[in-house]
Amino acid sequence: MGQSKIKSTISDQFKEQKTLEDEMADQLIAFYNSTTNPLVKLFVRWIILDTKKHSEIYQTLITLDSSSGVIVGDLEKDKLTKELTTHVSKEAEMLKRSEEISDLIEDAHTKELFEIIINDEKRHHQLLVDLLWLIEKIDEMSRDEWHQQLNRMMRSEKRIPRTSRRIRAQRSNATR
């Protein structure tokens, strides 16, 4: 089987997976909209966001697989740089405000849950800074370097809050 046949097969499979992710997101959104319980809504929303993220990763893989040239054009690069610079500044302000609020929280359970927000804000800020750097360096980067940076950034993206991991560990220990 030739290399181009393998590539088109992989690309086709990416497209099928993206379609499945999109369908799942739509179903989850309908479920999310049908429930009023805030705790259920929170967890379903996390799954929706991950499912949409997976769909976008598949779209990126499809685009990168079929793209043979520039990843970001000059006009888009200027727009992205301006937008990202604004968002980096706003995210830094949101992080500062969140940390100030955290200092006021006395209840340990509330503080622990609020720490999820602070950790997300820190991660979001770093992702925006990294993305801004990537956009600025994109003309100098090889396709392999772009893929390496994208993979590094995606690995740093974590959705499951620490409290959920601890609950799973506790359940696992309880069943032993």
Write the pLDDT tens digit of every residue in 5-46.
665 688 899 999 999 999 999 999 999 999 999 999 999 999
List pLDDT tens digits, range 143-173: 778 778 778 877 776 544 444 444 445 545 5
Query: How confident is the model over 117-126, as pLDDT tens digits?
Result: 899 889 888 8
The whole-number pLDDT of residue 65 equals: 72
Q: Is 60 exposed, middle or buried (0-12, 13-18, 19+ CB in 10 A)?
A: middle
Identity of the amino acid at 141? M
Q: How open is the CA angle 98-87-43, to the nearest 5 degrees?
A: 55
Distance in angstroms (rounded) separating the CA atoms of residues 14 and 52: 14
| Residue 139 pLDDT greater than 70, yes or no | yes
pTM > 0.75: yes or no: no
Positive or negative CA dihedral for 54, 49, 41, 170? positive
More confident of the two residues 42 and 140:
42
> CA-to-CA distance for 135 and 77, rounded, in angstroms?
6
Q: Domain residues of the chain, as ranges?
A: 1-68, 71-176
